[in-house]
Amino acid sequence: MGGVSIVKIKPEDDGIRLNRWFLREYPALSLSRLQKLLRTKQIKVDGKKAETSTRLAAGQELRLPPLDNEKAAVDDKKLSAKDIEYIRSMVIFKDKNIIVLNKPSGLAVQGGTNTTRHIDGLLDALMFENNERPKLVHRIDKDTSGLLLLARNRQYADILTKAFREHSLQKTYLALVRGCPEPREGVINYALEKVGERMQIVEDGQKALTEIKVLDNIGKKYALVEAKPLTGRTHQIRVHLESIGTPILGDDKYFGKERLRLKEVADKLYLHAYEIDLTAVYGKKTIIKAALPQHFAEACKFFGLEIKK
């Protein structure tokens, strides 16, 4: 076992949250153990007590206790050729500042309890000609497919993070729902708050707005819905569509106890981050679209639903 060590924060990690740094560098270190090490001052930043939310700056020094076991899980791990091909196959846009992925349903963006395979763990394969790994600037749910933006440098990480925070990047999702929203166009305005493991509509909760439009439907049985979140609450689209009586197919969490399962289509979540408008970042019209995943496209074909705009 090693002793106490001092690690200097690299320029490319300037601004990263301390818990995110540990998640990447010591994936076997649990959050509760990290908090205990911080609380007992076994981990310090520039000799001072820190919190999990502390933002690190380039050049700062981290004092670390022996963490060999936590790092051993990935010390010698290299991405396989299969992993590299897998993550690179998701790239649908790349320039010197941004990479856009079309993430498949079922793949988490970051690690967590019982989650060892995730986008964050594969980012080294997307460095290409750069010396630093891309940075996550937002997240989408594990079972949601579609657009995921990565910043290729700290400058654009800040630009994109600010743009997402200020909602200046318009995102458009597609959802396959049971029933058909009435009216066919409008804005769902229900405040949300996390209650237990679920987001719920709470009168004095956080403001949440979702603009929706029915693109196609089969009477009142099923519909293909365009949804634009005007705010950024967790599970916002899923809760809002369920709240008006048109839950998303394949949604285990918000479809209710008797979730509809159809043997004719794949048993997956039918929510896809379809389009993002990057005009606010590039200063010229820049819209990127992510093709529907196979299960979603096949379900639309089965139901005879089309993206009509």
Q: Domain limits of the chain? A: 5-75, 81-165, 171-303
Beta-strand pair 44-45/91-94: unpaired
Q: Give the separation between CA 101 and CA 296, rounded to whole angstroms.
A: 17
Q: Give the separation between CA 245 and CA 190, rounded to whole angstroms.
A: 14
**Cβ atoms of residues 91 and 99 within 8 Å:** yes
pLDDT at residue 72, as a whole number: 39
Q: Which amino acid is at 268?
A: K
pLDDT at residue 293, as a whole number: 96
**Cβ atoms of residues 122 and 184 within 8 Å:** no
CA-closest candidate to residue 70, choices 27, 24, 32, 21: 27
pTM: 0.76
Q: Give the separation between CA 233 and CA 213, rounded to whole angstroms.
A: 19
Q: In terms of C-beta distances under 8 Å and separation of at least 24 residues, what long-range contacts does 106-115 make, across chains too? A: 106/142, 106/143, 106/268, 107/142, 108/142, 109/136, 109/139, 109/140, 109/142, 109/148, 110/23, 110/136, 110/139, 111/23, 111/27, 115/142
pLDDT at residue 74, as a whole number: 39
Beta bridge partners of 277: 287
Given this chain, do its domains 5-75 and 171-303 carry the same CATH topology?
no
Q: Which residues of the chain have pLDDT under 50?
A: 1, 72-76
**Cβ atoms of residues 149 and 138 within 8 Å:** yes
pLDDT at residue 260, as a whole number: 66
- CA 258 remoteness from chain centre: 27
Q: Judge whether 13 counts as a catalytic residue.
A: no
**Catalytic site residue from 13, 120, 141, 143:** 141
pLDDT at residue 113, as a whole number: 67
CA-closest candidate to residue 51, choices 34, 28, 64: 34
Contacts of 128 (CB under 8 A, 6+ apart): 94
Contacts of 213 (CB under 8 A, 6+ apart): 184, 185, 225, 226
Is 68 strand, coil or helix? helix
Q: Does domain 81-165 have CATH number 3.30.2350.10?
A: yes
Q: Give the separation between CA 215 and CA 68, rounded to whole angstroms.
A: 54
User: Please, how many CA atoms are within 13 Å of residue 43, restricted to the half-sphere of its CB?
Assistant: 21
Residue 241: how many other CB atoms lie within 10 Å: 28
pLDDT at residue 187, as a whole number: 98
Domain 171-303 is of which CATH architecture?
Answer: 2-Layer Sandwich (3.30)
pLDDT at residue 219, as a whole number: 95
pLDDT at residue 244, as a whole number: 95
Q: Give the separation between CA 91 and CA 249, rounded to whole angstroms.
A: 27
Concatenating the DSSP letter of every residue in 177-243 gives EES--SSSEEEEE--EEEETTEEEE-TTSB--EEEEEEEEEETTTEEEEEEEESS--TTHHHHHHHH
The CATH code that applies to domain 5-75 is 3.10.290.10
Residue 142: how many other CB atoms lie within 10 Å: 17
